[in-house]
Homo-oligomer: A and B are copies of this chain.
């Protein structure tokens, strides 16, 4: 549903558009403040000038916005603080509302939808394809969805129901219904005539799909083959049958990997009866991959979801609290582990200065191991055949690290406190805790995967908890035995 012929493409740089809009908003705001300043003399005159200028800036802004691609407007909306965002949103022509709502992030979409009434929302949704309405549905009030549903044709209702029935991370959620279907017994001439009846083909139509009378999928016919072959060739002789087929319940991630591996632009989605029910296109896959990789980065820092950078302090804080609460609990636990050794620390206070080193380095090393394992798991590269080898390798690396970095840390301790046994305790504790780190760094993601959970979420808290508490316990425990 995107129009690729917008004026915006003249400048490739969307940041440029953002700056222009900001500057117009700024001028507008200045005029506003002059016009509303009650302390100025000859207030009426100022207000008049103000309102003229005001109108001029707004007209300019309106013209600028009308020339922008919906995706660029979405970008600008995301980068504006809330009151300016809503001012711009009010100025966007209402017939573009739907397209823009599809483009913005979930957090910003919420802030925009909150300002719209039932009628506006219905109108916005009705501009969209059924698969796009399905994407928007979770954010729309029920009564709006009921209105929208009523306005659809029977076929579209069926599509909307189907699109909404698949889970968010399945192929069904990426699917659209804009595929062109032909029969295998016609000639390219007939296909070409059929295609010419469209004003334009749906976006990303690199191939048409060949189906039989019962809509059963037979193969694909790339548009490029239509172009390079003579009109009298029959579709059945030219179509490709050995092509990838997606299934609506399949994991979206699997489909994304297929797109990457086989360089696809579109792929058919086929149900269990072999019927063609939709297609997936590369632009949706690109968005999916970007969103996934962003949520990986956000999850690693314990941010539950994407954050509207202009969300309220309260809302942002909530997004971050689960993580901090969890970390506080593990920190309390580690603190109690240290507490068990207060007697030892009292006798040898150097231990307090050295213990964070043991905990910290093992935590870093364990997180390196986990990162490697999670990545290999995501690529499906860990098999029963090679898991043991990997484990052995990670243990060997941790042993090597323990000798090298533990050795250096031991020397550090020795030179500071002139105690050989302290140095030996330090090195041994580092070696042991790095080994613990390697084991949990491998085991935790593997166990999470086994139980069907995403190993990228939450692994690092658990690992750090274990290398922290474990590090304190090992180091202070060894010290209690050998130094006191």
**Interface of A toward B, CB cutoff 8 Å:** 2, 4-7, 9-10, 12-15, 18-19, 22, 26, 69, 71-72, 75, 78-81, 192, 195-196, 198-201, 203-206, 223-230, 240, 242-246, 250, 254, 257-265, 282-283, 285-287, 289-290, 293-294, 296-298, 300-303, 307, 309-310, 313-314, 316-317, 320-321, 323-325, 327-328, 331-332, 334-336, 338-339, 342, 345-346, 349-350, 352-357, 359-361, 364-365, 367-368, 370-372, 375-376, 379-381, 383, 385-386, 389-390, 393, 396-397, 400-401, 404-405, 408-409, 412, 416, 468
Contacts and interface: CB of A to CB of B under 8 A. Distances in A.
Contact of A372 (B79, B199, B303): B303
A78 B192 contact: no
A397 B317 contact: yes
Given A345-B349, A364-B327, A396-B313, A9 B223 contact: no
A359 to B, nearest CB: 7
Contact of A334 (B195, B287, B356): B356
Contacts of A356: 331, 334-335, 338, 356, 359, 468
- Among A204, A328, A354, max chain B CB count under 10 A is at A328
Contacts of A317: 397, 400-401
A371 to B, nearest CB: 4
Contact of A368 (B290, B320, B409): B320
Given A223-B223, A328-B408, A345-B345, A22 B383 contact: yes
Given A227-B227, A353-B339, A323 B364 contact: yes
Nearest to A261: B71
B262 A19 contact: no
Nearest to A307: B372
A324 B205 contact: no
A250 B401 CA distance: 41
Nearest to A196: B228
Contacts of A368: 301-303, 320, 323
Contact of A313 (B223, B245, B259, B393): B393
Contacts of A71: 261-262
B196 A230 contact: yes
Contact of A303 (B313, B321, B371): B371
Given A310-B389, A316-B393, 18 more contacts: A9-B242, A18-B380, A69-B262, A79-B386, A223-B223, A226-B227, A265-B282, A285-B286, A293-B294, A297-B297, A297-B371, A301-B370, A302-B364, A320-B401, A323-B364, A335-B412, A349-B349, A356-B468
Nearest to A374: B297
Given A9-B242, A359-B356, A381-B79, A200 B226 contact: no
A78 B26 CA distance: 54
A294 to B, nearest CB: 7
7 contacts: A14-B257, A260-B287, A297-B300, A309-B390, A324-B401, A328-B409, A342-B353
Contacts of A254: 12-13
Contacts of A18: 380, 383
A122 B115 CA distance: 64
Contacts of A336: 353
A2 B262 contact: yes
A371 B282 contact: no
Contact of A243 (B4, B14, B230, B339): B4
Nearest to A408: B328
Contact of A297 (B290, B296, B314): B296
A386 B15 CA distance: 14
Nearest to A72: B261
A297 B376 CA distance: 13
Contacts of A226: 227
